[in-house]
Amino acid sequence: MPKIKCKKVTWEEVEEWSRIVSDKVYSSGWTPDVVVAISRGGYVPARLVCDRLVVGELVSLQISHWPSAAQMAKEAGVRTPLYCNMGGKKALIVDDIADTGESLIIAKDHVWTNCRPEAIRIASLQWISGSSKIRPDYYAEEVRGWIWYQYPWSRLEDIIGFVKKVVEENPGKELWSIEELIRGVREWYGVEFDRWFFERALDKLASKGFLKRDGDRIIAKV
Ligand code: ADE
């Protein structure tokens, strides 16, 4: 049993979920004039939703999570503000997942204040109903329990995090082979990826000084 629940998402699933979300918007009879993609996770779903609903206006808003000084938890905030007039328009905010729901709450508030649309609705591919503080108006899947969705647009970024975690969880082990790391990620997350991702992840972690690479030998410096 993997220690962390993780689902490796395929491009086909992304297409299917985006279609389900678009169909739900379509059948609700509410037609958005503008789509707001939450950067970065909402980019791909938002573009697909735009196509499936034939919406020509697509803007984006980046929400980031910074570690807060007071707690170890991360705080969400607007990284790239959006200043545009949406007067008289219906805006659909699209993200990949509503997990804590914080990004969506911040985005909705920001779009209201800065763009003044006539109405705002929210869509996401996944809605983690037990943890999200907001229920999206449209979603493809309600998720019960917590899962990390490994979306195809963030493969390398996630694998860098997975490798880091595996190394950190084994503080006594200094020397690793790439095969051991691949196995470690499989054991921790229950998912497998092409070796290419591990090669690139290790180069990135080496350039950040997290580990050293000497050919096939990987030396952890944690
Ligand atoms: N971003 C925030 N929560 C997430 C989750 N559970 N899976 C994938 N991406 C996320």
pLDDT in tens, the chain (222 residues): 899 999 999 999 999 999 999 999 999 999 999 999 999 999 999 999 999 999 999 999 999 988 766 666 688 899 989 999 999 999 999 999 999 999 999 999 999 999 999 999 999 999 999 999 999 999 999 999 999 999 999 999 999 999 999 999 999 999 999 999 999 999 999 999 999 999 999 999 999 999 999 988 999 975
Nearest CA to ligand 1 atom 8: 149
Backbone angles phi, psi at 150, to 5 degrees: -90, 90
> Smallest Cα–Cα separation from 63: which of 26, 15, 95?
95
Q: Does domain 6-150 have CATH number 3.40.50.1580?
A: no
148 lines ligand 1 (CB under 6 A): yes
> Which element (helix H / strand E) includes 64?
strand 57-67
Quick one: which atom of ligand 1 is closest to the CA of 143? 6
Say what the pTM is: 0.94
The predicted structure's pLDDT at residue 88: 98
Residue of 17, 149, 151, 153 to test ligand 1 pocket, by largest number of atoms within 8 Å of CB:
149
Nearest CA to ligand 1 atom 3: 99
Give the distance (Å) from ligand 1 centre to CA of residue 97.
6
All CATH 3.40.50.2020 domain ranges of the chain, comma separated, are: 6-150
149 lines ligand 1 (CB under 6 A): yes
Q: How far apart are CA 222 and CA 209, in angstroms?
A: 10
The predicted structure's pLDDT at residue 37: 98
9 lines ligand 1 (CB under 6 A): no
Give the distance (Å) from ligand 1 centre to CA of residue 187.
20
Query: Domain 154-220 falls in which CATH fold?
Result: Arc Repressor Mutant, subunit A (1.10.10)
The predicted structure's pLDDT at residue 206: 96
99 lines ligand 1 (CB under 6 A): yes
Give the distance (Å) from ligand 1 centre to CA of residue 7.
10
Residue of 43, 129, 148 to test ligand 1 pocket, by largest number of atoms within 8 Å of CB:
148
Query: What is the chain's alpha carbon radius of gyration, rounded to the nearest angstrom?
Result: 20
Two structure tokens written together for 210: 């997290």
Q: Which residues pair with 35 in a beta bridge?
A: 58, 92
All CATH 1.10.10.10 domain ranges of the chain, comma separated, are: 154-220
